[in-house]
Structures are given as structure tokens and as C-alpha cells.
Structure 1
Amino acid sequence: MSESTHGSSPDHYNVLGLNKHVAVTPQQLKSAYHKALLRHHPDKAPRRDSTLPQGKQVAGPDTVSIDRLSLAYQVLSDPKLKEEYDRLLATTNFAERSTLLGKAHHAGVETVDLEDMDYDDDQQFWRRQCRCGDERAYEVTETELEGEQSHGEIYVGCKGCSLFIKVVFEAVEEEIKGPDSG
């Protein structure tokens, strides 16, 4: 596998064996994805453990989940998602990036309208429960929305599991404020 980020979860580029500083064509991206699938598939690239009976295969320490590979391909093949992801890599500090990349390693991006989220007047943020059971799993603030006005969407990671949601919103002043603000 390519270099990882100082021992933290490797980013989507590293997972697919790509250099994040070199532009790739959609065909090159697809080819890298297929090679990574073969490289990490337990039946295609098995590792032998001498302590197990002969013929028993185990995943090696370099094995990346198929979900992680699929998510990397999904993000890097979608121009909007890739732009958001590249911005995340460029603007977050190392600790934040490690946490976010670690959470993002499983597929599961659901699209949610901001109006369908609950607004907390006291804390002044929108929130949504996750299927993992965490009631305040997804939280987004007005400041975060203002930072993404030009895109009309923001990706939010669950605080309790590895899922992400894409929150879509219209960049209209009334919708950026809480529902009861007037």
C-alpha cells in the first residue's frame, strides 16, 4: 500500500494508490480502483498465518475494506465530492483530518434536507439522530452552513459511528437562521 498519513488512516488517494498532487483521468481512477480491489480482496491476495491450519487465510495488516475502497472511489470520481474532500485535506489540521478520515472509512452517505433536521434554539445548531442510535449524532452550525453557502451542501460525520450524511440547503438568509427566527 502507498504511504499513509503518519500512521493515521490513509486518505482516499493513498487507499487507491494515487498521488493526490497529480491529476488523474476518470479511466486512470477506475483502473486504480480495480487494482486496489484486487490487491485488498481476501480471495485474490490472501495472507497466510503459520499458526493456522494449512489453507486457512487471514487478512493482513495492510488490508483495506471493500467499503473503504468503494467510498474512496465514490468520492474521488464525483467532482463535487472530490472538491469538498480536497478542501478538507487542505484546510483541516492533522488531528481533525485523522479523526474525519477514520470516521469516513465506511460507505453510507445519505442525503438529508436541512429542513428535515431538528433545530436546537438554545445551542443554535441543527441535529439529526443516526441509525446507530446516537440522538445528537449529526450536528451542523450556522457558521458551518455559511461556509458552504456557495455549494448548498455540507458533509457531516456521525459522532457515534462511521456514517456520514450530506445536508443540502438553499443559501437563502431565512433558511440559514433557525426556523423560528424571523
Structure 2
Amino acid sequence: MSLDRPVHPDPYALLPAVPSFAVTSTDVTNGQPLADAQVNAGGDTSPQLSWEPGPEGTKSYVVTCFDPDAPIVSGFWHWVVVDIPADVTSLDTGAGASDDTLPDGAFHVRNDSGAKAFMGAAPPPGDQVHRYYFVVHGVTEESLGVDGDASPAVVGFNLAFKSTGRAQLVGTYQH
């Protein structure tokens, strides 16, 4: 079976426009391959992320990592952290290990592997280069209004109506 297929578009370009703000990382360089630590076989270690305070009206943040290049229609959610307090503007390397390593009040939603944690890059061997969108979403509410049993799709649906802005950083990986 061949996995040849067109490259998916930037998924965030398909959403309603919101203001942007900056996100940086000591572990991920925009447009460059992920380090081994951010790969599933290399440790499943979430990267360090720092961001500017969100646009006016930001009361919390959601951080996600999404691979639109997975060979499935829905892409693959690697990380979803909800209800990060508005006064928090960074996550340390490894913060995605569990809810216990997140800021007070924040929690994980199950990723597409079923874990409430960060899952590193894991594209099929020989597949095209995959893009991993690390996105910080500003949220209009202190709580997005979901719990840890929500799906990433439900988180995304809520973000469509409660986003103040979005910051993104894209890493790549090919197995």
C-alpha cells in the first residue's frame, strides 16, 4: 500500500481569522525537524514553549500539538492542554508528562493515542515529512468549559467561539 497523497493545507488557515501573537521554544525551531526528545521513540518529551501575553480579553490558554499530515482524514492530535491560567506564559520542557507537571488548574485532554499527556512525533516509516503545529490559543474564559474526557475535536469546537488569538510554531519530522 502506498501512502502517497497530497500535502494537507495549514489547518489553521482554514479557521476564522483571529489576532496572532508570538510563541517561541528552546526545543523547537520553526520549520525545522523536531529533536529526538520530541519523537515518540525518543522519549515523548513535550517541548519548552514561551509566549507573549494573549490579546486583550485573554483569560486562559489552551496549548495543542496537531499533525495534519497523518494518513487519516482527521489528522492526529498529539497534545491538548486546557485551562492554563492567563498569568502563565510558558511551559517547561516535559510539562506534558502528566497533569501533575502542568500549572495549577490546567489539565490534559486525551490525545489521539488515548493518553492524557504529550505524544511525540510518530509518522509511518517512509511517509512524507509531517508537520507538528504547536499552537497556543488565547481563550475568552478562565475555563474553556470542558473536562479531561472531552475529545480534541470538542476542544477545537469550543475554541472556535472562545478564541482571542493564536500563536503557532511548526516543527517537522520524517521517519
Normalized against structure 2, the TM-score is what? 0.25
Higher helix share: 1
The structure richer in strand per residue is 2
* Greater relative contact order (CA < 8 Å, ≥ 6 in sequence): 2
TM-score by length of 1: 0.24
